[in-house]
Amino acid sequence: MKFLKFTLYILPALLLNSCRDYVEVEQVGNNRILKYTSDYRAIANAYTDISGSGGIYLLANADAEFPATYQNGVSTIWANSYTWQDKIYDPSQGDSDYIGLYKAVYYSNVLLDGVMGSEKGTDAEKKEIYAEAFVHRAFAYLQLVNTYGPQFDPASANSEKAVPLLLKPELFSSLDRSTVGQIYDQIISDLKSALANDIQDTPPFNVLPSKKAVYALLARTYLYMGQYQLSLENAEKALQMQNGLIDLKTFATGYSYPVLIQNPEVIFSKTLLLTYNRAPLSNDLLSSFGTTDLRYDYYTIAGNVSISPTYTGRGFGIATYSNTNGINVGVSVPEMYLIAAECYARAGQTQKAVDYLNILRAKRFRANAAYQVSAATSTEALNLVLTERQKEFIGRGFRWFDQRRLNLDPAFQKTYTRIFKGNTFTLAPNSDGYVFPINQNYIDLNPELGK
């Protein structure tokens, strides 16, 4: 049994390496750890600690394509993810995605467990922090279950094991993995709890949870669950509260793109881990933009500009163009338009689906360019939506989550093949390659993770 001694502020980073190990938590300063409401607000505002939301799937999804000359310069982690291996990390390595997301879970649990009993704060201040914590925890678990668990299937009991469901800031909690269904139930429960506790409508910064963020996260969650009517209802609620779009025609160059915290499209900011920034993008995806789609200019950048190792091709560009603090993988206005469009298409309301697509596309093309699309059938509209999602969410890894859920439909199933350093790798529909393995290091420390 190891003896670890550190403060609360660095506890979560090590917690997931060995949750069963004995931990002594020192006092902060020489006075206290958490006592006042302001202490809890400081944790709730710890954006760097609570915003990182993984991204290993970015390398595995169909957006990425490593040129042959680039392959020799990537790490084993990148290579293993890119080729869908059943082992991603070496024994000496940790899983930054897993640790970061459970760090957010731990912080959320600390807030939920203690803020209402804190001192020198109003009831309104305490309740605000309490409501926010539910949203952070829900987001973290939505990322976790879709990275380390099988895809939710509306036609099954979803009894497959996913990840541990930790709801208390306890150092000796069981790490038995909960099922996919149990994780999704908790996500929805947390988001509804945030609403029940009167989460604020519009916070001063998009890094803070809000009512519109809850609606948007419910829309994303229900979309992944295949519950399209509920997804649509929540997407519409989010859009009623925030619907502004950036008009790319107004930018002189890509460097005019707004920083993340000032981006009017961002409803709730969560960031891709920086280590996955600028992965090479697939030629098929890049060629789908056409010459008048400004997203090619502003969302991508040449592989020999501010990128190492350099490569021939293009990578995701916003983090380079904008002096920002990350790549948003949180919910946004464009996502809500596209979720609504998809749900309308699936409901047979073809024109409504196309109308929502064109609202977004109007802000993405050169002046006087023909941006409007049309569809004769709901199937055609759905295909247009899915293509638009690939272009709008380029470089964020959302394609992986779409691949997972679309695999359930025979009409969209596809086998992917990659050649890496002369070897051929295949990802079949619904294969184990769509579930990232929990790091063996963590299973060795806590064997129940492997069950």
pLDDT value, residue 277: 75
At a CB cut-off of 8 Å and minimum separation 6, what does 344 contact?
232, 350, 352, 353, 356, 381
Q: Is residue 8 scored above 80 in pLDDT?
A: no
Confidence class for position 48, pLDDT limits 50, 70, 90 = confident
Mean pLDDT check: name the lowest of 30-34, 220-224, 244-248.
Answer: 30-34
Q: Is residue 19 scored above 80 in pLDDT?
A: no
Residue type for 8, please?
Answer: L
pLDDT one-digit tens code per residue, 381-402? 999 999 999 999 998 999 999 9
This prediction's pTM? 0.92
Q: What is the mean pLDDT of residues 209-238?
A: 98
pLDDT value, residue 32: 53
Confidence class for position 33, pLDDT limits 50, 70, 90 = confident
- Half-sphere exposure of 182 toward its Cβ, with a 13 Å CA cutoff? 13
pLDDT value, residue 213: 98
pLDDT one-digit tens code per residue, 208-217? 999 999 999 9
- Classify 340 as helix, strand or coil: helix
pLDDT one-digit tens code per residue, 186-196? 999 999 999 99
State the Cα–Cα distance between residues 446 and 451, nearest whole angstrom.
Answer: 10
Confidence class for position 9, pLDDT limits 50, 70, 90 = very low
Q: What is the mean pLDDT of residues 313-337?
A: 85
Mean pLDDT check: name the lowest of 68-82, 164-178, 258-272, 306-320.
Answer: 306-320
Query: What region, left, alpha or beta, does residue 421 occupy, with left being phi > 0 and alpha being psi -120 to 50 degrees?
Result: left
CA distances from 108 to 7, 40, 405, 413 (A): 17, 10, 28, 37
pLDDT value, residue 76: 95
Tell me if the domain spanning 50-90+130-437 has CATH number 1.10.3720.10: no
pLDDT value, residue 1: 24
pLDDT value, residue 29: 35
Q: Is residue 227 scored above 90 in pLDDT?
A: yes
Q: What is the mean pLDDT of residues 187-208?
A: 96
What is residue 322's DSSP assignment?
S
The percent of residues in the chain predicted with pLDDT above 70, rounded, is 92
Domain extents in the chain = 50-90+130-437
pLDDT one-digit tens code per residue, 403-426? 999 999 999 999 999 999 999 999
State the Cα–Cα distance between residues 298 and 86, nearest whole angstrom.
Answer: 35
pLDDT value, residue 323: 65
Parallel, antiparallel, or unpaired for β 3-6 and 22-25? parallel
Confidence class for position 6, pLDDT limits 50, 70, 90 = very low
State the Cα–Cα distance between residues 81 and 437, nearest whole angstrom.
Answer: 10
Q: Is residue 5 scored above 70 in pLDDT?
A: no
pLDDT value, residue 27: 36
Residue type for 59, please?
Answer: L
To 10 degrees, the CA torsion angle through 100, 104, 107, 108? -160
Q: Is residue 163 scored above 50 in pLDDT?
A: yes
Q: Residue 162 — φ and ψ, nearest 5°?
A: -125, -95
| Strand positions, DSSP E, 106-243 | 161-164, 177-179
pLDDT value, residue 307: 75
Q: Is residue 28 scored above 90 in pLDDT?
A: no
Q: Is residue 435 scored above 90 in pLDDT?
A: yes
pLDDT value, residue 439: 94
pLDDT value, residue 325: 67
Q: What is the mean pLDDT of residues 246-253?
A: 91
At a CB cut-off of 8 Å and minimum separation 6, what does 33 contact?
7, 8, 25, 27, 39
Confidence class for position 103, pLDDT limits 50, 70, 90 = very high
- Classify 83 as helix, strand or coil: coil
State the Cα–Cα distance between residues 389 and 428, nearest whole angstrom.
Answer: 22
At a CB cut-off of 8 Å and minimum separation 6, what does 425 contact?
83, 84, 417, 418, 419
pLDDT value, residue 18: 34
The percent of residues in the chain predicted with pLDDT above 90, rounded, is 75
Q: What is the mean pLDDT of residues 348-353?
A: 98
State the Cα–Cα distance between residues 134 and 118, nearest whole angstrom.
Answer: 18
pLDDT value, residue 15: 37
C-alpha 423: how far from chain center? 30
